[in-house]
Amino acid sequence: MSETTEKKKVILSAIQPSGTITLGNYLGALRNWVKLQDEYNCIFAVADLHAITVRQEPKTFRQNILNAYALLLACGIDTDKSPVFIQSHVPTHAELAWILNCYTQFGELSRMTQFKDKSQKHSDNVNAGLFTYPVLMAADILLYQADMVPVGADQKQHLEIARKIAERFNGIYGTTFKIPEPYIAKVGARVMSLQDPTKKMSKSDENVNSWVAVLDKPDVIMKKFKRAVTDSEAVVRVGEGKDGINNLIGIMSAVTGKTAEEIETEFEGKGYGDFKTAVGEAVIETVKPIQNRFNDLLNNKDYLVEKYRSGAEFALKISSRTLDKAMKKIGFIAR
């Protein structure tokens, strides 16, 4: 992205490299990001600093960061249009996060539901980073003067606090940060767990059969769909108390572009076995080209290094302006 095209609205989003990227992440987030690239000035990041709020095994973590980066490109993010960087490569994020920590109240952070959930889940490691996680996310967003942030329901509260922090800072020092708006996708797919379809599909779910990873092998994908929880009615149609089938119809619709009604008609008189196989096949077809591009990218490390270095260079340049502005207003001496 060149600076002369900066008239378009700025969209910023990031994904944590905290495990494999699921079909939920793809259909609910990544795929929408790809579509935003022409209309907006998009900036995307791999939020690796956020990921260490829970313990990571170094070797796996390193691989997950690179995989997440490559997967963003494999899904269709074009770095000529949208810079993609790795958060820890751009020091302004940690710097502004510290500063914003001093403009965020303990009480506000205590009310974050993700903190409450995660501190229960990882009760042996309720670290300060887990607590101040939303402040780092605020820094990610505010550094780029983002107009909009595509967020799922789970991240809405974090965007709210980012807005609050920005408003507070602007209130004290005059306009420094743009107040970001949530970007709600027109067709946002919410993918549910294949084992408990009342819960969202989540990569941190211990039951590996509950999620499908974009990088899962075709036979694994098929096996997971065949094991998907359904109901005893054996009719492929959307209905109350049919969370499993509703979810499978939703997935089928998201990957084929067909409406739920079209899918119901197509599978009239057919059993769940046939339907699950068809959903599995459609998902395999969707991820196949992504997997191929992903493998090509991982075989071309030099290309990835070049891309994440230039992404970080761009990000540092843009974000430094905001950081310098904020520091000057507070009264720090210019470096």
Question: Are the CB atoms for 279 and 248 separated by under 8 Å?
Answer: yes
- State which residue, 152 or 182, has the beta carbon closest to ligand ATP: 152
* Residue 118 annotated in active site: yes
Residue 53 within binding range of ligand LTN, rule CB under 6 A: no
Q: Are 210 and 195 in contact (CB under 8 A)?
A: yes
Concerning whether 200 is annotated as a catalytic residue, the answer is: yes
Closer Cβ to ligand LTN, 284 or 312, answer by number: 312
Q: Active site residue: 9, 81, 164, 203, which one?
A: 203
Q: Establish if 25 lies at the interface with ligand ATP (CB under 6 A).
A: yes
Work out which of 12, 28, 138, 318 binds ligand ATP, going by CB under 6 A. Answer: 28
166 interface partner picked from ligand ATP, ligand LTN, none, CB below 5 to 8 A per type? none
| Helix, coil or strand: residue 45 | strand
From ligand LTN, ligand ATP, none, which one binds at residue 42 (CB under 5 to 8 Å depending on kind)? Answer: none
Stretch that binds ligand LTN, among 12-20, 60-68, 170-178, 245-253 (CB under 6 A): 12-20
Q: How far apart are CA 114 and CA 305, in angstroms?
A: 33
Residue 216 CA to residue 50 CA, distance in Å, equals 25
Q: Which of 134, 131, 96, 105 minimizes the C-alpha distance to 116?
A: 131
Query: Can you tell me which of 148, 162, 201, 254 binds ligand ATP, judged by CB under 6 A?
Result: 201
Q: How many residues does the chain have?
A: 335
Taking CA atoms, 37 is separated from 98, 115, 270, 271, in Å, by: 31, 31, 40, 40
Give the residue from 321, 300, 309, 244 showing the smallest Cα distance to 275.
Answer: 244
22 binds ligand ATP (CB under 6 A): yes
Q: How far is CA 249 from CA 210, 236, 243, 259, 314, in A?
A: 16, 8, 10, 9, 41
Classify residue 101 by burial, with Cβ atoms within 10 Å: 0-12, 13-18, 19+: middle
Question: Which listed option, ligand ATP, ligand LTN, none, makes contact with residue 12 (CB within 5 to 8 Å by class)?
Answer: ligand LTN
Span interacting with ligand ATP, options 3-11, 75-83, 139-147, 183-191, rule CB under 6 A:
183-191
Q: Which of 178, 200, 224, 276 is catalytic?
A: 200
Q: Work out whether 77 is an interface residue with ligand ATP (CB under 6 A).
A: no
d(CA 55, CA 130): 11
The yes or no reply on residue 16 touching ligand LTN (CB under 6 A) is: yes
Q: How far is CA 201 from CA 21, 119, 149, 207, in A?
A: 11, 20, 21, 11
- Least separation in angstroms between CB 51 and ligand LTN: 9
Q: Would you tell me how many other CB atoms lie within 10 Å of the CB of residue 290?
A: 20
- Partner whose footprint covers residue 14, from ligand LTN, ligand ATP, none (CB < 5 to 8 Å by kind): ligand LTN
Stretch that binds ligand LTN, among 134-142, 167-175, 196-204, 276-284 (CB under 6 A): 134-142
Cβ(114)–Cβ(130) below 8 Å:
no
119: Cβ contacts below 8 Å, ≥ 6 apart: 126, 130, 131
To ligand ATP, the closest distance from the beta carbon of 24 in angstroms equals: 3
Active site residue 328: no
1 binds ligand LTN (CB under 6 A): no
Residue 152 contacts ligand ATP per CB under 6 A: yes
Strand 181-183 versus strand 84-86 pairing type: unpaired
Residues 78-97 that bind ligand LTN (CB under 6 A): none
From candidates 46, 141, 228, 297, binder to ligand LTN by CB under 6 A:
141
Catalytic residue IDs: 118, 200, 203
Q: Enumerate binding residues for ligand ATP (CB under 6 A).
A: 15-16, 18, 22, 24-25, 28-29, 151-152, 154-155, 189-191, 200-204
Q: Enumerate binding residues for ligand LTN (CB under 6 A).
A: 12-16, 47, 50, 137, 140-141, 149, 155
